[in-house]
Amino acid sequence: SEAVEIVDFMRDAWKLPTPGIIISVTGGAALFEIPSPRIRKLLRQDLVAAAVSTNAWIFTGGTNSGVMKEVGDAFHACRYKGTKTTWKIPCIGIADWYATIGQAYHLYYRLSYTDRADSH
């Protein structure tokens, strides 16, 4: 099947471990809002715990907004809090081509501006 071929490609080409499960997080790009910091914290902790305990691959829509941003922020926060196992969990974003147009320019501009500001 196509799904098996895709997983095989990702394992072989990108040297990813075989997933125990695949978690797909979709929807809520524009109007997604978590009602409280407590719920945000629980969502982040539980998603990361589920992914780590099942050796999951996480798939999102690949943009930095809504629920997809929450997923990225969850793994980012855990990776830099000394959690050693989260770096092994692939978080794969599949974005529409038009959602990414101009992003390289914006990233370059931010990095260039930061470098110039730091040198003074």
The tens digit of pLDDT for each residue in 28-52 reads 667 777 889 999 888 888 998 899 8
Instruction: Report pLDDT for 72.
Output: 86
Least confident of 1-10, 13-22, 96-105, 108-117: 108-117
32 versus 18: the higher-pLDDT residue is: 18
Residues contacting 77, CB < 8 A, separation 6+: 44
Cβ atoms of 19 and 55 within 8 Å: the answer is yes
If one counts the domains in the chain, the total is: 1
Q: How far apart are CA 12 and CA 118, in angstroms?
A: 40
Q: How far apart are CA 111 and CA 119, in angstroms?
A: 12
- pTM over 0.75? The answer is no
Owning domain of residue 65:
2-118
